[in-house]
Chains A and B, each alone.
Chain A
Amino acid sequence: MLAGLAAILRRDLRLALRQTADNGMAVGFFVLTVILFPLGVGPEPAVLARVAPGILWVTALLASMLSLERLFAADYEDGSLDLMALAPLPLSLLVLTKCLAHWLLTGLPMVVLAPLLGLLLNLEPAGYGVLVLAMALGTPALALVGAIGAALTLGARRGGVLLSLLVLPLYIPVLIFGVAAVDAAIYGVGARPHLLLLGGALLAALALCPLASAAALRQALE
């Protein structure tokens, strides 16, 4: 079973690396949108420092959501998703593997880029460590929750707009605790409780979301 999952992981990574435009675009969107904010709200360092955690998180949310639309779509269109569903692998583990591949390609680069973009936004020095930690906990949860939306909207009319309506409300807890953790670190009141809540959200998503996504995929393939 593990060999099968590893094969799917390898396949997804290889496909993505041969066709970098799709995943590169999500990361590019993340960087470009963050850069737009200093131009929009003005380059005043104090203002930027105050809103930096929120900007980074909201942009990460949007970038994650935009890239999720393609999580299952290509495999659905060319029929390979049908074959994967027929394989003796549990569909929920398959979803988990695809989420892992997706996170490695879009989530991880965002985690790495976030502190650099924080520099551009004049983020307080105390916030960097917690920002990276919170993003490392939060972005996988975003991918897992978003996978439900991606599976539900397979074959729907106007799938992209629909996906944002379904997924963004469910993203809000991650946004709240992610920003709260960075703010707490900056004001020196201890980011631990928020990080623990983020970790809890990730664990719950890890256990439950693949099941829901698998159910959604099954009804899409019927």
Chain B
Amino acid sequence: MSQRRSGSSLHRFANPSRFLRLGRRLTPWFAVLAAAFIGAGLYVGLFVAPPDYQQGESVRIMYVHVPAAWMALFVYSCIAAASVASLVWRHPLADLIARASAPVGAGFTAVALITGSLWGQPMWGTWWVWDARLTSVLILFFLYLGHIAINNAFDDPTRGARAAAILAVVGFVNVPIIKFSVDWWHTLHQPASVFRLGGPTIDLSMLVPLFLMALGFTFYYMMLLMLRVRSEIVARKIRTVQLLQAAP
């Protein structure tokens, strides 16, 4: 009995129309929070935080690069979790969340790759090196593209969603490889300096803008997710209405 209750409480949020109402209420909050945190993070990062003793002013690229890279992994993990939910419980909403997240995650991955390249040119003296971290993040970018492509490759949208879900779960092997690539291989990319045993090795004045930006990016993702899922639900409703009208 208790199991059924917990199941029904989980299913409450899987109801698309309830999600629509929730999303409509939450989207402006997420937008305000995202703007506030990204604004504060950019201000602290660009004007308050000190320049690095080695990297000089270029260290400020990190305040965009590192949170974007975290988001790239976070969004992919969300897609994989939603895909498992979709494959196991067949929640229609889980498919929509995975579908709506993929372009956002691809965008964050592209931002991480581009800002990393801009930082690498003055610091490493090259736009790109084929080290383990960079290569595995590039693979992540292609996994996102594959996910988007297969989602749209079928005439039947549920077919595309199921295929994309399986691909997302298979591609999840890449996430731990990205995370630990700097420990497993001796690469040019820096090892982890924030989330590590024994505490971060970054000064607080640089951690603050980093976390402000990370929070801002997370709220930005939430806002986009709500918007995109809502528009997807509305688009399907319109399609259903059109089909009903076409075949009386």
Interface residues of A (CB under 8 A from B): 148, 152-153, 155-159, 162, 165-166, 168-170, 172, 176, 212, 215-216, 219-220, 222
Contact = CB atoms under 8 A, between A and B. Distances in A.
B171 A153 contact: no
B83 to A, nearest CB: 11
B231 to A, nearest CB: 23
B154 A162 contact: no
Nearest to A173: B177
Contacts of A165: 142, 145-146, 149
Contacts of B143: 169
Contacts of A166: 146, 149-150, 167
B1 to A, nearest CB: 32
Interface residues of B, number: 20
A156 B170 contact: no
Contacts of B135: 172, 176
B166 A155 contact: no
B149 A219 contact: no
A134 B135 CA distance: 22
Given A152-B150, A162-B149, A169-B143, A212 B163 contact: no
Contacts of B146: 162, 165-166, 169
B155 interface: yes
A219 B167 contact: no
Interface of B: 87, 135, 139, 142-143, 145-146, 149-150, 153-155, 159, 162-163, 166-167, 169-171
A159 B150 CA distance: 9
Given A169-B142, A215-B87, A162 B166 contact: no
Contacts of A156: 150, 153-154, 163
B142 A219 contact: no
A153 B149 CA distance: 11
Given A157-B155, A162-B150, A152 B167 contact: yes
Contacts of B171: 169-170
B205 to A, nearest CB: 38
B153 A219 contact: no
B183 to A, nearest CB: 16
A212 B169 contact: yes
Contacts of A216: 163, 166
28 contacts: A148-B170, A152-B163, A153-B150, A153-B153, A153-B163, A155-B159, A162-B146, A162-B150, A162-B153, A165-B149, A166-B146, A166-B149, A166-B150, A166-B167, A168-B142, A169-B139, A169-B143, A169-B146, A169-B171, A172-B135, A212-B166, A212-B169, A215-B166, A216-B163, A219-B159, A219-B163, A220-B163, A222-B159
